[in-house]
């Protein structure tokens, strides 16, 4: 079954707006939650990651919000730019699963100029 559920499947945002992508998980043993950005024809690249000991992590325009009790985490892209148009994947892992990484199904983001 899908260990990490991601929504929405696609998202269209105006330039300057806020893009929000949500993920939910079931396995409470997960203790590492990265977000990856993928451009067409390229491999994914790490954008930002969080451990469950903090509720928020910010790097530039990108913020991860983490709700441990709800088993949810989200990516917020502030002041979205056309160059942010890409597919975004959330993921989760733990050393207790042999370093297996479980990825969401991805969100295709389009930022309209």
- Give the one residue of 32, 52, 61, 110 binding other proteins; rule: CB under 8 A: 32
Question: Least CB distance from residue 113 to other proteins, whole Å?
Answer: 25
Residue entry with tokens 């991860």:
64
Q: Does 110 bind other proteins (CB under 8 A)?
A: no
| Radius of gyration (C-alpha) of the chain in whole angstroms | 14
Judging by DSSP bridges, how do beta strands 72-77 and 86-93 pair with one another? unpaired
User: In terms of Cα–Cα distance, which of 81, 38, 90 is closest to 61?
Assistant: 81
Residues 43-102 that bind other proteins (CB under 8 A): 43-46, 49, 51, 89, 91, 93-95, 97-102
If one counts every other C-beta atom within 10 angstroms of the C-beta of residue 36, the result is: 21
**Binding residues for other proteins (CB under 8 A):** 6, 32, 34, 41-46, 49, 51, 89, 91, 93-95, 97-106
């Amino acid at each position: 079954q899908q260990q990490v559920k991601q929504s929405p499947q696609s998202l269209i945002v105006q330039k300057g707006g806020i893009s929000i992508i949500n993920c939910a998980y079931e396995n409470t043993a997960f203790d590492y939650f990265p977000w990856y950005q993928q451009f067409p024809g390229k491999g994914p690249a790490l954008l930002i990651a969080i451990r469950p000991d903090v509720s928020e992590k910010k790097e530039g325009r990108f913020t991860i919000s983490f709700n441990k009790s709800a088993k949810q985490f989200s990516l917020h892209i502030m002041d979205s730019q056309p160059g942010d148009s890409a597919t975004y994947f959330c993921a989760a892992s733990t050393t207790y699963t042999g370093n297996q990484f479980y990825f969401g199904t991805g969100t295709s983001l389009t930022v309209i100029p």
